Structure 1
């Protein structure tokens, strides 16, 4: 076998295995490659066209090109593939040939399909690229047009600014160097300048550099900052290479300049509608008016009030301030939360109402027998339960007469319980005025008459103590005429009944008069509705908590109801009637004790039943906040008044007597505070630092210790811890059960703070007959006593020509050579003054004694 045959067989085997070898024809071309530093290389390259094999054809070997890295040409030969034709025999079968041909055809079809898909993708991508290029060109054209318009507008503005500057008077200014890009400022070099280093060598280049110094190259950061500035030249000669300011930035800049021009001129005041609540701070009012708080304080100062921004003012003052500053005012109130709490429809009681018992209040002067009369009516001994035999609480009771109920309210007659009597008159239907037949009309009786008229309720006069021998009912009727109370016996419309609480005389007639008056009034109430009424009395019980005595006026109060009274609310835990028994409900005109309050209500507060606890909390929180703000506004205004500040400065010598009051019920505490505040004068006054119902606690001791005040306990006691703390702190706790004694003791204690009164007693007069100058003694006046007597050590006045020229003390009183205690009328004596010697013949000496007397309130 020759070498050629071996090569053919090897090529055939390699072609059958799928590998192709590279071969070059002898007639291939030569290509010369040039490298750096003068090196070159010759490479023989043969190029062949790629033959596209169609289905049914035999694939041709692939065309390749090769490069030899060596400088001498090298020929890479490839042996021809021997094609085995059908019929040649040579060990190949026709079945194999057909199988290879079918596989080749399938492969060619797949390649053609892939080629078509690639061509389609290329067409679509070219189309999308063309559309994107068109869109970008349009966008660039639009942006360029906008930039040209903005540049033209800026040029026009610059031109107008230049014209305005030209019109103004010229002032020497430093030349302003226009901010140009650094690249534009650099000198441009031509082709000859670029070629100069090559021709002239290094020497010529250095000489040229020395003659023409090049500008300093800025740092990249400065260059970027300068390139970012938009100048007129840059806007007009936009080269497109640098990024300019955006339109939004330019609009912001123009808007800022416009705002600066607006702020430079006077700002126009904006008048607003100001919403003002019941109480508001000065700072909040200023914010709502968009005014400075200083301006609001200046307005207040012109009105004579010195306040700060955190002080609270009332709605009227805030309205005056707002109107003074030119604003309009809209008054609002948070009281909307109370809408619907109390019913104002009285037609409901007239239409759906049932007859209700009358509410009767017994009023009159102290010790005229009010409680004894009620005691006789209800057959109970109430007077023995009251300390000192006087009523100090409002008692509410219910009695029955001829199958009809009558509710009684007993009020104190002491002058300190004015507020209690006023509350009793407001909550009642009929007032019984008790007047003692032996004492007639007294000041508290007149006060009760005034309360009755203020409440617009009918009156029945009960002339009590008819069992006494000195009783004179006609005197009572006559005295009542002075106060426009005309009884039926005097031709008037007021019923009068003569009674005796001791013997029971006339009690039935009194009850009949009450029922007759109630029948005339036609009292009705609807029991099938939510309860409403008034708090008669309230107290803090140690075992039961806050307890309130209430009088139901409308509806029915039931166990479990939620009621609101003033700033306190309660879920009714228990209802206790006047006999101490628990009941499940209380109808109209029924007095009951209510347990379950969260806090102690105030006596006289109206109450109403609400649906939920949330509404009860909302109402009570509003009322508590309103009370705090109103109190703060009142105190703040009083504190800031210039007039009151001057008054306080003038009354700096006013001494205060601080006390802390604790009582059994709210009404007693209120009466004690009112009675104590009435005591005093321009030199001393009582100041109640704290007053509340309930026992004395450790917190009360701490407050009293801080204020250095005694504690007044009325019908209450201190617990053991409080007593120990008081003893350790040295705080005095004084216990009382009669308001007379309490008021008297406080008055006596306050009198001790008064400075004693200087009382002067005239002793006598003496006339100077001669003046002697004695060695080591001084001037001594020889006198004769013209009137009264003269005592050693007494006060003297020296009177010359009816003018007092000296007042002092007598140092020496001698008769002949002896020192004497006193000299009487007609006797002669010698006198010398303390620290004074300007005495003359004919002067008159007036002698007096000064006594200090304790003052009374």
Structure 2
């Protein structure tokens, strides 16, 4: 039979009993194993097949299939390769497989060419894998050898270190033994030198026996027949004794299988007499606990620097001091304050606690968040000229709006259709290559608000006065605003084209307001203009530039921007839009800014024409988009470093604004509070209540709320349980409310704070007394009822003019009586011309209290002299009747 495959021969001879030989009797495959936590691994597995035998030959069982590789094995071992024939080892072609017979005796089909080709390919792949596996085995063997060598070196180093440590310990033990031996010998020599009492009877002890006994006591004698030691042999014997007395390390007890006693097995689980023991984890925890108990070390207390705000909770204070909140609460209980961990205490109490515990304190305030927002003034070398900022003020009928329109129209670029649309309340005009910024302030309220906030947004004020109307009351108000803001004024005398215009009249009337123009020898510039005919507008612009040169307006553009909000509004499509005038620095897109209680990031910058710009320098008005909320006119704008700082500043300002809204004027007592409320006409009674229990506080609150009417009502700013603390006094001072205490008292710190702030604290033990006092105080807020009682009438007959006294009216009492000090009305032609009090009442030359009907008398009015004959004097008494709730 040929070794090569003969494609023409389709049968296999059955005479020659030769089995089919293959390179490997196993089949290899791959299986993907899945582990916990989503891990997977591909493993090679092998399977051995059962070999078929020819008929007539007993069937031999093939080797059992190899078991599947366990999941824990990283790389399965390769099964032993069956021994191949010489032709296979020499790389010859695979021998054609003999036909197999079924067990019934039928001849199996012959392998086709494709099947033979596939088997040859499998054989070649198996050979390649065999080579790779051998290479891998060699590499693993080399790696194991390297690891073994490294471990061997490490073990040798460790053994060497242990040996050195052991030698060192032995040397130290020898030195200690020598020192102990010397000390023992010195002690024995001292005892021997002492005089000993005489022995009662017996043989005398020789010096040799004493030395032997001393040697036995010191552990240097090994037997009874040991010779005495001389002076020269003492040191070598001591060294030998030290070596001999070296403590022998005790052998550790053989480890038993106790740690596996408590493991649960099937046998122990079904055994009735056995009980489940403690787990290994429980034993491990117990050992760790015992170990920690044996190594317990007292920690040294660390003193820290504690930052204390105005108010802080007890838990936060304990965390900053790294103390337990229970210890802080105990300290407060010793001071008579029953508080919880989430209660708020003031900075003074927190400082006392921290200092008592040994910590250092650094007081901080909420206002510190604004430190550094507006930086210091710039250096002179960094300043550059900037355009002036001009505000036009004056009476609304004097042509202020017309003058603004004239400035806008004069600045239109030729060829641009439609003119300039003023999108914002500020714009710039160019004159001789220099820019001038105009701010349109609608009304005086916005300007007053800016001045009240300390914002000096304007460099110059143009005071517009009509030449045909002169100085009006609103003109005087504008002058007062400009002087209060300490801003120079340029007078623009408008409407000079009208027929009745008189500029000199305007100049003269301005003198009455202490405003002297240049034409009359003063230092105030004035320009005669006509907004309607656009007369002398260029002269007005030149006067503005001249005044700005005198002022030397400069700013630093190379820094973070600062400015002021001219106006702000909420646009439906764009959100919060603010018109900002940059005062110094440069504002850019993306900057984070704060304006009052609003903050945001600059999303867009628009100029007066509605065009987007990338940046805005000093004196440049722009519209800003990007505020989270709408700021107020007059708020200062500043650029900060990050959003967290901006949010922190805005939240602090919002809290301050809320506190300012709720807090009234500073007042402490009930009487002072009633006086203030009557003066300003307020009808709200603010109080703070502290009680012993929650039920009492609720009852008091309900009773006081029921006392309210349409004219006056009680407002409880705080009602709590517990003693009066300094925080309560602070709240009462901020809200202007007295403190009503029911069955509670104030501590010493609260009393001192109340006395210093002038806050009244009233103590009650009966609810009805508290309610009655509050009711009486609220009744005092009601306006009293006035009741008139008619007394009589008198007719003036003649008027006498006395130099020192004034005018005296000679009267005849026609009805009733007239009393001195009574209220009177002077009636002329049935019209009341005066109402006041009667000052003097005389009959002949004597002062009298009253004059009856039919008698004549003289009368004098308080602070009134316009009396005429024929007038009627009506006398009446006014009684005030107090109102109650």
Give the TM-score normalised by structure 1: 0.38
Give the TM-score normalised by structure 2: 0.37
Q: Which has the higher contact order (CA 8 A, sep 6+)?
A: 1
Give the structure with higher Rg (CA).
1
Q: Select the structure that is richer in helix.
A: 1
